[in-house]
Amino acid sequence: MIYREATAADVTPQGIGLVAAGMQEVDLGQEPMCPVRSVETMMRMVQDPNHLVAVSDNDGVLTGVIIGSVAPSMFSDSVFATMHVWYVRPEDRGSWTGFRLARIYRDWAKMAGATTAYFDVNSGVDNRMAGGLAQRLGFRHIGDTYKVAF
């Protein structure tokens, strides 16, 4: 298994499908993904130094992805990092893939100058296990995520 930053060559049906599967698990699947918008967004993110798109690659098969970004804080001179997508295919869960992708995000956030990094665990797949993984990487639990659909 290779862990690496994604490139424009990964913005394929396989790569977009991996993100789409992750979005389904966080209940964002109610908003259908637009193929054109998805490709445009992914191309922009893989080329933007303020975004991280990292993948796990097993002989050309993408098995996991993590997407994060850094941005200035609204009310201070600090920079913070936010994780947007963290997904590992079900058949690859229980391996080191999720941990390694999460560690890549944490380390990238620090190198990108963030003073704080946020790690969201909100898929409902196994939040206790994922939360434990986040805590082993130094993140602490600060709340929960709620949503309402209109």
Which region, left, alpha or beta, applies to residue 98 given φ > 0 means left and ψ of -120 to 50 means alpha? alpha
Provide the pLDDT for residue 29.
55
Q: Is 79 helix (H, G, I), strand (E, B) or coil?
A: strand
Tokens of 82: 């936010």
pLDDT tens readout for residues 45-62:
999 999 999 999 999 999
Q: What is the pLDDT of residue 122?
A: 66
The whole-angstrom separation of Cα 71 and Cα 50 is: 7
In the chain, the domains with their CATH numbers are 2-136 (3.40.630.30)
CB 141, CB 121: distance < 8 Å: no
pLDDT score at 32: 78
Overall pTM surpassing 0.85 (yes/no): yes
Here the tokens at position 56 are: 């796990």
In whole angstroms, give the CA distance from residue 83 to residue 51. Answer: 10
What secondary structure letter does DSSP report for 32?
Answer: P
**What is the Cβ-side half-sphere exposure of residue 82, based on CA atoms within 13 angstroms?**
4
- Per-residue pLDDT, 13: 92
Q: In what order do the strands lie in the sheet containing 79-88?
A: 2-5, 51-58, 61-72, 79-88, 116-118
DSSP states of 89-132: -GGGTTSSHHHHHHHHHHHHHHHTT-SEEE----SSSSHHHHHH
Which residues in the chain show pLDDT less than 50?
Answer: none
